[in-house]
Amino acid sequence: MTTMRTAGVLTPSREVAHHFELLGWTTGIGSVDEVDVRIGNREALVSPAIVDGAPEGAFGWRAEPERPVPSGTHPIAVSSPPGAELTTASVTVGRRPGEEPLWIGELEAPTPLKDSPGNVVMVVGWALLDSRAPSLVEVMVEGGGTVRARTRLPRPDAAEVFGDFGEAAISGFEARVPVELPPGQDRQVTLRVRYRTAGVGEWISPATTFTLSNPPADPDDAALSEELGAHTRRTLARVSVPTDPRHLLIFTHSLALGGGQLWLQELLGRLVRDHDWQATLVTETDGPLRADCEELGVGVHLTTHYRNSSVPQYEGHVGELARLAKCSGAGVALINTLGGFPAADAAIRAGIPTAWVIHESFSLPDFAYQNWGPHTPPAAVWSSWESALAETDMLLFVADATREMFLPYSKPERCRTVRYGTPMAKFGGRTRAETRWQARQFLKLEPEDTLLVNIGVVESRKGQGPLIAAMEPVRRAYPNARLSIVGYHASPYGKALAETIERDGLGDWVDLVPIQRDPTPWLHAADVFVNSSDIESLPRSILEAVCCGIPVAATDVFGAREMITDGESGWLFETGDVDAITAALLRVLDTPAQRRQDMAQAAYRKLADWLPPAGYAREYSDILSELAAKGEHCDRGSHQ
């Protein structure tokens, strides 16, 4: 005789959290091996349990999902081998109003009760708030203040474990928080993390306590640095080469395609063609722009990456660069980017008047950590970095905000803001109707489409991940809105963005465009330009948009408010916050087209005086000429 099997589930009377258990019973069985429970599309772990209200003789059980379950209503199916379904039910994962959002995630660094090296707190983790990546993550560090984390970073490991959570793949976040801590000292630090999404709420992590330990300086490094530096000075003293005040020696980090590189190439071309400069360029990394240099008659010397991990390596490389600099016969040197301090040091030791262009708006500890990790340059090398900033004849910045950041390292008269010019000034703050029509035809846009354009190499600091996340609510409100992100390449971050677009069904609204040497067609076709970076100095792409008569919405990063006045000549919004980006884009799209154009014209009028690249190049030529002239009449032997 076959025993009839039945089952029941005691479904919760309210929403449950991502982790939960269900109670139920099954008749006609005697062990957990004879019952299967599936929650959603996953099999649950079943164990014996006493279940009040179960029929007499029934087998009581407890079912728990092996992994957290995302928000939403999920089916429950109870069966008994060989697969006969006994009953079904459902469970809703969520929370009631007033309760904290459901959070799952992990704070991987810093590690509690363990020393973290250096003077920068590196915070790394991943998180989901009510099943989605949070809109905003803020890191609160005792002694370091509150810093907004960079969010929507790729986390394939989280996606592998939490595949049911669609945004697990982009749930990563990170932040660097510098803390005042001299070498050789330790400090116990407390950290909390706040996760927030509008309409969902916020969740604040318990305090994490750890020790920040800044290694002591090697007492022999200073003496070794002086000994090796003296050797370089003796070597340089034996070199006597006539100098040409119109010969410019340039040190840069790369000749690959990128914002800082293209800026330098544009400037270099105008200095050579319009102002009769001869130039020699030294680069750490080769790239396609070397052909441009050769076309200009600029000699290119390829060196290695600047070596600063130890005093002997640093002094050896700086000595080599200094000898190269002195033998070049250049009358003045131009250093490109903050990381070029070994080159600045070398030019100063070679006795060459030096201008140093600093595009980056990072503190030195932050910049050092992100480029060289927690084991920052040794104290003696760090001292050389600060000395180079102090001794460089002219520090040049593109934004007043960045200049203010570096004033403590130099003197006000040696710090100067020279804002970017751009060859796109030729468009005069407008795009002709025919040109716009041709560009939109080229991009296959419909007349009713509203095109948002973001231009910049796809990387986490450019904030394209949060921008894509904002497009989900934006396209619901404005189905004809389109976003083109120009600067895609197949990095892990780029691939994660492409997967996000596919997973969220945004392919008809968001387009990832490979890096373009000339992105002008996208600007000519655009209705709005969007800058979503979380760190910049003076985003050159904003200037290009203004030159084409495109209204701008931008994160309020360094230099942005020196170009855009919120609500008058564009729109500004907070960095690192998907909700802020969403609100800004909706605000822009709510604005009538004519009003948007009026604001674009207001932006052009504000910036018109310094947009022409000819004036920008002339200002650089004047600065370099003045430095070269001083070098001819001043004794710089103290640097040799």
Q: What residues have CB less than 8 Å from 194, skipping those under 6 apart?
A: 136, 137, 138, 140, 202, 203, 204, 205
Q: Which two tokens stand for residue 311?
A: 């005093």
pLDDT digits (tens, 9 = 90+) for 441-470: 999 999 999 999 999 999 999 999 999 999
Q: Which two tokens stand for residue 566?
A: 């919120």
With respect to residue 169, please indicate whether it lies within any of the assigned structural domains: yes
Three-state secondary structure call for residue 210:
strand
Query: Residues 415, 517: one domain?
Result: no
Task: Find where tokens 């005040």 sit.
Answer: 245
Q: What is the pTM of this model?
A: 0.87
Q: Are residues 561 and 417 in the same domain?
A: no
C-beta of residue 143 within 8 angstroms of C-beta of residue 178: no
Regarding whether 428 and 417 lie in a shared domain, the answer is no
Q: How many residues does the chain have?
A: 640
Sequence letter at residue 451: L
Host domain of residue 557:
424-611
The mean per-residue pLDDT over the stretch 350-379 comes to: 92
DSSP letter assigned to residue 326: H
Residue 402 CB neighbour total at 10 angstroms: 23
Residue that terminates a domain, selected from 190, 214, 238: 214
Residues 271 and 392 in one domain: yes
Report d(CA 626, CA 590) in Å as an integer.
Answer: 50
592 three-state secondary structure: coil
Residue 386 burial (C-beta neighbours within 10 Å; 0-12, 13-18, 19+): middle
341-349 helix and 221-237 helix, angle to the nearest 10 degrees: 50
Q: Tell me how far apart the alpha carbons of residues 489 and 100 are, in angstroms, rounded to a whole number.
A: 39
**Residue 430: Cβ within 10 Å count:** 16
* CATH number of the domain where residue 68 is located: 2.60.40.10
Checking if the pLDDT of 634 tops 70, the result is: no
Nearest to 570 by CA among 558, 583, 587: 587
Q: Is residue 258 part of a domain?
A: yes
Q: Is 189 exposed, middle or buried (0-12, 13-18, 19+ CB in 10 A)?
A: buried
Q: Nearest 5°: CA angle at 538, between 537 and 544? A: 150
Q: Quick one: 503 and 566 in the same domain?
A: yes
**Residue 391 forms part of a structural domain:** yes
Considering the domain architecture, whether residues 523 and 465 belong to the same structural domain is answered as yes
Mean pLDDT on 495-515: 95
How far apart are the C-alpha atoms of 483 and 467, rounded to whole Å?
9
Whether 237 and 384 share a structural domain: yes
Q: What is the CATH number of the domain that holds 132?
A: 2.60.40.650
**Number of structural domains found in the chain:** 4
Which of 179, 214, 249 is a domain's end point? 214
Predicted local confidence at residue 259, as pLDDT? 73
DSSP type of residue 369: H
Q: What is the pLDDT of residue 2?
A: 56
pLDDT tens-digit series, residues 5-58 = 899 999 998 999 999 999 999 999 989 999 999 998 889 999 999 999 899 999
In a domain, 1, yes or no: no
The whole-angstrom separation of Cα 322 and Cα 273 is 27
Confidence band, pLDDT 50/70/90 cuts, at residue 115: confident
56, 75, 93 - which closes a domain: 93
For range 420-430, the mean pLDDT: 91
Give CA–CA dist 263/86, Å, rounded.
70
Does pLDDT of 428 surpass 90? Answer: yes
> How many helical (H) and strand (E) elements, i.e. helices and strands, does the chain have?
17, 30
> Does the CA dihedral 568-570-572-573 come out positive or negative?
positive
User: Is residue 510 domain-shared with residue 542, that is, in the same domain?
Assistant: yes
Q: Please, which pLDDT band fits residue 471 given cuts at 50, 70 and 90?
A: very high
pLDDT of residue 408: 96
Q: Is residue 135 part of a domain?
A: yes
Clarify whether residues 432 and 305 are in a common domain. no
Q: For the chain, state the CA radius of gyration.
A: 30
What does the pLDDT read at residue 638?
A: 39
CA atoms 298, 301, 302, 304: torsion sign: negative
pLDDT exceeds cutoff 70 at 637: no
pLDDT classification of 633: cutoffs 50, 70, 90: low
Distances from the Cα of 25 to the Cα of 15, 41, 57, 491, angstroms = 21, 21, 10, 51
118 domain-assigned: yes
Kindly give, in sequence order, each residue whose CB lies less than 8 Å from that of residue 540, ignoring residues fewer than 6 positions away. Answer: 259, 263, 420, 422
Chain mean position to CA 387 = 29
151 and 178 share a domain? yes
Is residue 98, in this structure, part of any structural domain at all? no
Q: Residue 337: what pLDDT?
A: 92
CB count in 10 Å sphere of residue 291: 11
Domain check: are 367 and 480 in the same one?
no
CATH no. for residue 507?
Answer: 3.40.50.2000
Strand-strand pairing, 450-455 and 528-531: parallel
Residue 136 lies in a domain: yes
Q: How far is CA 207 from the centre of its chain?
A: 26
Statement to judge: residues 351 and 401 lie in one domain: yes
Give residue-wise pLDDT tens across range 220-238: 999 999 999 999 999 999 9
CA atoms within 13 A on the CB side of 463: 27
Instruction: Tell me the one-letter amino acid at 574.
Output: E
- Asked whether 35 and 46 are in contact (CB, 8 A), the reply is yes
Residue range 509-517: average pLDDT?
94
| Nearest partner of 283 among 298, 272, 296, judged by Cα | 298
| Cα distance between residue 339 and residue 570, in whole Å | 32
**What's the longest Cα–Cα distance across the chain?**
113
